[in-house]
């Protein structure tokens, strides 16, 4: 499993680390130049604009590169001609699938960590940065448990998205769908989202009081509570994480069955 993780890491680390470096130094650059008196200096204003442009472009490219890395590590390494080599390794299906999920979560964890470090350094350099940055760090320091649960909730949601993506690719390759592959994949993904939403609504609809008291608040965006200095309810995050974990486990075993018993690589 370590070698599999190593190969996936070496395939994508250059571009991802380069874009993370651009995001990191763009935030630092914006913090430094925003601290200076820009009113009478056109050149400093130009530098700030350049750093903002680099920051936003780097974030967009990072999203694109992460998607390509996921496609490369899952679709290319499991369902293309390279799938033969992957499944011929002396590893169980579980080890292969888990390694694919872990390596993609690793990139997101590293990127998010560097982003927070850059925000922290930027706030130290320029204390007058946006209030949301100050509120985020005030929230982390005053509510470490909530901060941990928020990020665990985020990573559980990302892991669920990866599992759903893997499920869609499994169906496309088992069904040998080649024409309009992307469109069919999008419809399968959206259909799966709707199906999960309907099933979840039916289950919690059987417990109306429980839903009214807790679950209807799960739709609130996590960081909205941080930016407005509100204290989130811990039980909301625990419930959301539990719901995502159940969905991940169910989809994982379905994918495992499909790949083990139905997949025929060409």
> Is the domain of 150 the same as that of 83?
no
Asked whether residue 19 is assigned to any structural domain, the reply reads yes
Cα 195–chain centre separation: 22
Spatial separation of the C-alpha atoms in residues 213 and 209, rounded to whole Å: 6
Per-residue pLDDT tens digits for 150-187? 778 888 888 888 899 889 988 888 887 778 888 888 89
> Is the domain of 159 the same as that of 253?
yes
104 touches 69 (CB < 8 A): yes
65 touches 16 (CB < 8 A): yes
State residue 249's pLDDT score.
92
> Is the domain of 2 the same as that of 63?
yes
Check residues 72 and 106 and name the one with the higher pLDDT: 106
Per-residue pLDDT tens digits for 61-84? 888 888 887 777 777 777 776 766
> Is the domain of 10 the same as that of 86?
yes
Asked whether residue 250 is assigned to any structural domain, the reply reads yes
Asked whether residue 213 is assigned to any structural domain, the reply reads yes
State residue 227's pLDDT score.
46
> Is the domain of 217 the same as that of 141?
yes
Q: What average pLDDT does the chain have? A: 75
The rounded radius of gyration (Å) of the Cα atoms in the chain is 22
265 touches 83 (CB < 8 A): yes
Spatial separation of the C-alpha atoms in residues 228 and 138, rounded to whole Å: 11
Per-residue pLDDT tens digits for 183-230? 888 898 899 888 888 877 776 666 655 555 555 544 444 444 444 444
- What DSSP line would sit under 36-74, residue for residue? S--TT-HHHHHHHHHHHHHHHHHHHHHHHHHHHHHIIII
47 touches 41 (CB < 8 A): no
Question: How many structural domains is the chain composed of?
Answer: 2
| Domain interval for residue 152 | 130-266
Of the candidate ranges 1-5, 33-37, 134-138, 251-255, the one whose mean pLDDT is the lowest: 134-138
Check residues 87 and 92 and name the one with the higher pLDDT: 92
State residue 20's pLDDT score.
85
> Is the domain of 237 the same as that of 152?
yes
139 touches 46 (CB < 8 A): no
């Amino acid at each position: 499993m370590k070698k599999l993780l190593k190969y996936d890491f070496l395939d994508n680390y250059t571009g991802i680390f380069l874009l993370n470096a651009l995001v990191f130094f763009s935030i630092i650059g914006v913090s430094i130049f925003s601290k200076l008196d820009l009113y009478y200096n056109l050149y400093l204003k130009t530098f700030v604009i350049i750093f903002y442009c680099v920051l936003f472009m780097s974030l967009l490219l990072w999203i694109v590169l992460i998607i390509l890395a996921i496609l490369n590590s899952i679709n290319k390494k499991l369902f293309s001609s390279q799938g033969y080599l992957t499944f011929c390794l002396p590893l169980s299906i579980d080890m292969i699938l888990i390694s694919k999920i872990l390596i993609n979560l690793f990139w997101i964890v590293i990127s998010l960590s560097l982003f927070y470090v850059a925000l922290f350094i930027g706030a130290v350099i320029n204390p007058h940065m946006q209030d949301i940055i100050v509120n985020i760090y005030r929230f982390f320091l005053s509510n470490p448990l909530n901060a941990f649960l928020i990020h665990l909730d985020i990573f559980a949601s990302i892991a669920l998205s990866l599992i759903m993506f893997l499920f869609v690719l499994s169906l496309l390759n088992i069904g040998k769908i080649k024409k309009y592959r992307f469109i069919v994949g999008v419809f399968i993904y959206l259909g799966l989202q709707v199906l999960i939403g309907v099933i979840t609504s039916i289950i919690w609809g059987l417990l109306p009081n429980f839903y009214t008291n807790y679950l209807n608040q799960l739709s609130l965006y996590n960081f909205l509570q941080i930016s407005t200095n509100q204290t989130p309810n811990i039980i909301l995050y625990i419930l959301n994480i539990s719901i995502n974990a159940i969905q991940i486990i169910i989809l994982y075993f379905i994918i495992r069955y499909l790949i083990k018993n139905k997949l025929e690589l060409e």
